[in-house]
Amino acid sequence: MRILTDPATPARLALPQTVRVVGVVFLVVAALGKLPAVFAIPAGLGDMAVGVSAPFVTPRLARGTHWSGALSFNIMGLVDLVVAVSLGFLAGVGPSPLPHVTPTTAPVALLPLALIPTTAVPLAVALHLVSLARLRAAARTPATVGRAVAAAG
């Protein structure tokens, strides 16, 4: 539990999101005609945006700057994951996929792509949620609370 209270924890939680630049795989597979663009474009571009922005967020957090960009980064990362999973499910192979697209997202249920929704997505969600909780806790430090009370009084 001590590691979560370490001031460098938010930076440690943001850095692994850099790996999400591999979201370009969704775009490549869609270009090969194996995934629907309605899923691959938002999922691929969203993952790439989060992955590219992670190295810019990490140094600021490592310096102890609880900068509002960290909040935006984590929210953007969570929204991307929700959108990607939702579109992947809706454009899937169920009895009535919505929207009706060809091809479907069936390749995401096969290895190696199946590792993304089964392991990478839950890990990324956990990192974002713990990071948000840590940022919230840091915002409630006694110095911050004292300044807020002084400003209100």
The predicted model gives 29-58 an average pLDDT of 95
Model confidence at 93: pLDDT above 70: no
Q: Is residue 43 part of a domain?
A: yes
Model confidence at 153: pLDDT above 80: no
Question: In angstroms, rounded to a whole number, what is the distance separating the alpha carbons of residues 148 and 143?
Answer: 9
The two three-digit tokens of residue 151, written as one number: 């400003």
Range of the domain at 69: 2-140
Q: Calculate the CA dihedral of residues 130, 1, 4, 78 and round it to 10 degrees.
A: -10
pLDDT value, residue 11:
87
- Cite the DSSP H helix spans in 20-120: 24-31, 37-62, 68-90, 115
Least confident of 48-52, 69-73, 127-131, 133-137: 133-137
The two three-digit tokens of residue 74, written as one number: 């984590």
Model confidence at 33: pLDDT above 90: yes
Look-up: residue for tokens 């091809």? 103
Q: Is residue 151 part of a domain?
A: no
Q: Is residue 150 part of a domain?
A: no
Model confidence at 91: pLDDT above 90: no
Question: Three-state SS for 1?
Answer: coil
Question: In angstroms, rounded to a whole number, what is the distance separating the alpha carbons of residues 51 and 43?
Answer: 12
Model confidence at 24: pLDDT above 90: yes
> Would you place residue 98 in the very low, low, confident or very high pLDDT band (cuts 50, 70, 90)?
confident
Q: Is residue 149 part of a domain?
A: no
Between 150 and 102, name the one with better pLDDT: 102
Q: Is residue 57 part of a domain?
A: yes
H helix or E strand, kind and range, residue 123 = helix 121-139
Q: Is residue 106 part of a domain?
A: yes
pLDDT value, residue 25:
93
Q: Is residue 80 part of a domain?
A: yes
Number of domain units in the chain: 1
Give the global pTM: 0.84
Mean of per-residue pLDDT scores for the chain: 85
Q: Is residue 25 part of a domain?
A: yes
